[in-house]
Amino acid sequence: MIWNCYLCNGITKQAMSRKNIKLRIREILAQKGMTNKALADKMGVLPQHISNILSGRSLSVNALVKVADALGVQFGDLFVSSFTPNTPFENEFVAMVKCRRGIFTASSLNDLQDVVNTLSNRANNATELMKRTLERMLRFPSGKDNAIISELMANLSICMNPNEWIEYYKTELADLLPANFQVDYRYLSTFMTQDDMLALERSMA
């Protein structure tokens, strides 16, 4: 699992719901006298893209960063309980952790550690599940699983520490893989970068 942590000032933990974020953007637009089209023009996107953000379909951290920049406000201003140009920050520290399942917030270092522990446990559980699935597929091959096996191996190589992955490959997978097995790099290229594929290839050399 790949996740990113963003440290921001002035984000209240209660204001982190998607609904509140969308309402905050509308509030700032109204206070600045801007329309959705004007915001779209400043961002260099179609008005439909702004509609998708405000409806929640395209509400991501990257999108919010671009929205804040186009609105001329700080990223943290999108999350405060009531926007004004000189809104004082309510907290000295807040962290926002984005992962595939959503956005987690923490208003203290202890809260952040809890979030990190939760995500780490989920990542470890997912890694173990992938290992068991991959090993079972290799022990009971169907002859049609090359792409899935390649994907599982690729995901493990990305999720695990590089040294742990190489050790796991050498001690567990190498003996299970058929002698004529070829990683389906054409399939992997649909979701992996060239560098990731090269790293996977080298780790199996």
Q: Spell out the domains of the chain, with CATH numbers in brackets.
A: 4-107 (1.10.260.40), 125-203 (no CATH)
pLDDT of residue 88: 44
Q: Please give the model's pTM, rounded to 2 decimal places.
A: 0.45
pLDDT tens digits, one per residue of 64-88: 888 888 998 887 777 765 544 454 4
Please report which residue ranges of the chain form alpha helices under DSSP H: 18-32, 36-43, 47-55, 61-71, 109-139, 146-159, 162-168, 185-188, 194-203
The C-alpha atoms of residue 128 and residue 110 are separated, in whole angstroms, by 27
| Helix or strand (DSSP H, E) at 33 | none
pLDDT digit string (tens) for the chain, length 205 residues: 344 444 443 333 333 466 777 888 888 888 888 888 999 999 888 888 888 888 767 667 778 888 888 998 887 777 765 544 454 444 445 666 666 556 666 767 777 777 777 777 777 788 888 888 889 888 887 766 788 889 899 988 888 888 999 999 999 998 998 888 889 888 888 888 888 889 999 998 8
Instruction: List phi, psi (to 5°) of 95.
Output: -120, 140
